[in-house]
Amino acid sequence: MTPRAKIVLLLAALAAAGGGYGWWYGQQKAGGPLVLQGNVEIRQVNLGFKVAGRIAELAVDEGDAIAPGQGLAALDKVYFEDSLRQLRAQREQSAANLAKMVAGNRQEEIAQAQAAVADQEAALANMKVAVERAQQLLKTAAGTQKAYDDAAMGVKQSQAHLDSARAALQLMQAGFRQEDIDLARAQLAERDAAIRIAERQLADADLRAPGPGVVLSRVRERGAIVNAGETVFVLSLTTPVWVRSYVSEPDLGRIRPGQAVELRTDTRQLPPLKGRVGFISATAEFTPKTVETRELRTSLVYRIRIVADDPGGVLRQGMPMTATLIEPSSGQGADASESPGK
């Protein structure tokens, strides 16, 4: 065998060995855990008051760690408190008016109306006697026609006054109309609703943290007048930590919501962190977006979100992460009961 033939044979053997190793390595990778690269998502929220007013207090500064529900700032509350007191006074007035209508008229008022009826009955009886006397005098020519006419007119006036007094007595005894009572009850309910709104506005004069995090920026200072929704603090949310990554289309079947994930940072001294797959996008992303050939279909990727536990507070927003997905054991599936949106 010539030296040239030996060299060709050696190269062929090396190529075969390399191809075999590549096939073996590929099989090992295909059967191994799925490893993805990602970054800690930047989660920020602009915090502001729900109501307008003048800032009276700022309790935190940039870089401060805050807890859920912690007070961050407060507005001057004197206007809110005065408005609430005014509404409560109006509410008491409406409540008293409703109670009066439900209870009806007092017995003393009814007795007064009865006395007015009796007075008019006596006046009518007296006028009837005067008419009879005027009639007798007219027959004997001792009286005049005018005197008789005046007495007769007095009877009619007394009868009208008596009818009016009797009607007033009936109104007193019947009490208030149901429509008036319903109106008073509705006015009281309106006052109650206005008080609840004022109480919420007073509570909204305190700005509280929606969750754990770190104050990135303090935008306004004490004494500033702010409108509703105007940014006062910029907060970086730290819990839970979200890691954004992408999984290729061929590996999509190896990942499912709730699957356990081991996360590592580039800092070797830090221990791995535990997490789980919380969200898998339903929409694929690929480049270029206007072309989809058979070759480009293998470049399709799906965005996923990994929810991580960070008890030591070592993760920072934007930090690169390496995620190793833990395959479920045989006969066990991932916990699909967890909400993928978390």
* Inter-helix orientation angle 107-139/145-174, to 10°: 160
Q: What confidence score (pLDDT) does residue 4 get? A: 57
Mean pLDDT estimate for the chain: 81
pLDDT band at 220 (very low <50, low <70, confident <90, very high): very high
Give the Cα separation of 242 and 223 in Å (integer). Answer: 36
Q: What percent of the chain has pLDDT over 70?
A: 82
337: left (phi over 0), alpha (psi -120 to 50) or beta: alpha
Residue 16 burial class via C-beta count within 10 angstroms: exposed 0-12, middle 13-18, buried 19 and up: exposed
Say which residues have a Cβ less than 8 Å from residue 36's Cβ, sequence separation at least 6.
Answer: 245, 246, 247, 304, 322, 323, 324, 325
Return the higher-pLDDT residue of 327 and 25.
Answer: 327
pLDDT band at 70 (very low <50, low <70, confident <90, very high): very high
Return the higher-pLDDT residue of 20 and 186.
Answer: 186
Q: What confidence score (pLDDT) does residue 22 get? A: 39
- Express each pLDDT in 226-260 by its tens digit: 999 999 999 988 778 889 988 888 888 888 899 99
In this model, does residue 87 exceed pLDDT 70? Answer: yes
pTM > 0.85: yes or no: no
Q: What is the mean pLDDT of residues 60-68?
A: 92
Q: Which segment of 69-83, 179-193, 306-320 scores lowest on mean pLDDT?
A: 306-320
Count how many residues are written for the chain: 342
